[in-house]
Amino acid sequence: MLTTQRKAMLLERLSRDGRLVASDLAADLDVSEDTIRRDLNDLAAEGRLVRVHGGALPASPTHVPLARRQLMQTPEKARLGKAGAQLIQRGQVVIVDGGTTHLALVAALPLDLHCTIVTHSPGIAAALEPFQRVEVILFGGRLFRHSMVALGAATVAGYSGLRADLCFLGVTGVHPEAGLTTGDAEEAALKHGMLRAAAEVVVLATPDKIGTVSPWGVAGLDRISRLVTQGDRPNWLPPGVEHSDG
Amino acid sequence: MLTTQRKAMLLERLSRDGRLVASDLAADLDVSEDTIRRDLNDLAAEGRLVRVHGGALPASPTHVPLARRQLMQTPEKARLGKAGAQLIQRGQVVIVDGGTTHLALVAALPLDLHCTIVTHSPGIAAALEPFQRVEVILFGGRLFRHSMVALGAATVAGYSGLRADLCFLGVTGVHPEAGLTTGDAEEAALKHGMLRAAAEVVVLATPDKIGTVSPWGVAGLDRISRLVTQGDRPNWLPPGVEHSDG
DNA sequence: CCGATTCGTGCAATAACATGCAATAATGTG
DNA sequence: CACATTATTGCATGTTATTGCACGAATCGG
């Protein structure tokens, strides 16, 4: 049997059965378990499935709807979210970007918080449902699937007409020279608009984003008011930028 | 059974039943209680549930309302959703209103569906994430908390400039004389705009809404193309309106 | 307070894992 | 064709993960 053919069969079985068990496959296809393992690792490296102990599971978040992923909060993100939540004061108008870190922020908000939250992320908006005293403004647009946020002229226009107190900005790179960067051009432009619409800008950054650069620039580090990370303050952070350890 | 798969099943049962009992699970899944305990401890360490004596409970009580309501799909609503999903044809532009019934509609869509879905509900938009080939247009506005949809001038303007093939309209009352009604004035106006923006209008209605009236009128029964209910066609349904049993 | 259940820990058996190595087959190159 | 290179596979090795069991401690419900 050809290697490629075997891998195709693995994917076929995976979508049919919803899972793959390495030992069963070795017996079925009459090859060693090592071969199966190698195949599974290859396919996992291509992102076509997710490797687990004993076999593999589907890669696509098919039957894992929003609710599940909302709860998939690492303790790190929860701490970041908690640190961010403490920065919001009663009555403020706050812009909240999309992303799982900001979902953690919402989860850390006190239930009786009284403020206005502006977002272009349907996930953030939906998560704000339990907060009776939070006014939620949602900007629409065409949904950018990768990060599940609304993008488009209407979105940009919405932020350009806004004067907010605080903005929680999500980026995929925080670098001493490249500054704040993200993976999509249009998203970068929108984030720049969000940044300009707020008096203070806070970036919640997990450790994997510190010191890294993504293709599209959003703004320089001196444009943000505070960086929340895990660990000590990076020594390259401009003096005007505050820092907290989440 | 793969360990990862078993843990996923535990989370699924948790969100379905609202609690987990270790001893029951051990018997159900045919593993020792030690294994279940270890699984529960792992998941608790990841913050995905809260460990209690004898089992586990959902992690974030604040978000259970939303999560629960999303998963609280009665078999009736699932059937309605399935019936509605079959009405969508490839390439169409479809308006989908908010509400749990329409969440069931999204859940029933085929994963490879290729169409454009327009909505002003962040929950619907978020639920559409797994559908790679569905273009999602989200209209924004101020979030109306009771039904978790965006309302406002921008929302109305969005629909008024749209020509869609199909519209799934949610109402709280379907009555022979009062027609389609809902509980909020502004929402009623918006729904009227949605109805006018689509060539065909479908109403998915659970039995508790048939024959009831809410304060604010949306449109007469003759303005809809199809009513999907559970059971026989109401004899007062205008002849021009099609009917299906979901 | 007591019995029953549940919990945590250590332990051992088994399964699955990564890694390096060698044999073989397929492919590329002069 | 001759030869080198690469890909694929199975095997041996040591490591890690998973699981069930045993035992004593902690907890629960009266």
- At the top level of CATH, the class of B3-63 is mainly alpha
Is a pLDDT exceeding 50 seen at residue A183? yes
pLDDT tens digits, one per residue of A225-235:
999 998 889 98
- Give residue limits of the domains in chain B: 3-63, 73-245
Q: CATH number of the domain at A3-58, out of 3.40.50.2020, 1.10.10.10, 3.90.1150.10, 1.20.1070.10?
A: 1.10.10.10
Q: What confidence tier does B131 reach under pLDDT thresholds 50, 70, 90?
A: confident
Strand C within 7 A of A3 CB: no
pLDDT at B43 over 60: yes
Which among A21, A75, A158 has the least Cβ separation from residue B140? A158
**What tens digit of pLDDT does each residue of A3-38 get?**
888 998 999 898 888 899 999 999 989 999 999 999
How is domain B73-245 classified at the CATH fold level?
Answer: Rossmann fold (3.40.50)
Q: Is the pLDDT of residue B88 over 80?
A: yes
3-state secondary structure chain A: CCHHHHHHHHHHHHHHHCCEEHHHHHHHHCCCHHHHHHHHHHHHHCCCEEEECCEEEECCCCCCCHHHHHHCCCHHHHHHHHHHHCCCCCCCEEEECCCHHHHHHHHCCCCCCCEEEEECCHHHHHHCCCCCCEEEEECCEEEECCCCEEECHHHHHHHHCCCEEEEEECCCEEECCCEEEECCHHHHHHHHHHHHCEEEEEEECCHHHECCCCCEEEECHHHCCEEEECCCCCCCCCCCCEEEEC
The band of A67, judged by pLDDT with boundaries at 50, 70 and 90, is very low
Q: Which CATH architecture is the domain A69-245 placed in?
A: 3-Layer(aba) Sandwich (3.40)
Find the CB nearest B66 among A52, A62, A126. A126
pLDDT at residue A54 greater than cutoff 80:
yes
In B 19-38, which Cβ lie closer than 7 Å to strand D?
Answer: 31-32, 34-35, 38
Min Cα distance B241 → chain A (Å) is: 32
pLDDT at B11 over 60: yes
A22 touches strand C (CB under 7 A): yes
Reported as a pLDDT band with limits 50, 70 and 90, residue A65 is very low
By C-alpha distance, the chain B residue nearest A121 is B122
Chain B residues touching A160 at Cβ < 8 A: none
Task: Tell me the shortest Cα–Cα distance from B27 to chain A, in angstroms.
Answer: 22
Q: Is some CB atom of chain B closer than 8 A to the CB atom of A122?
A: yes
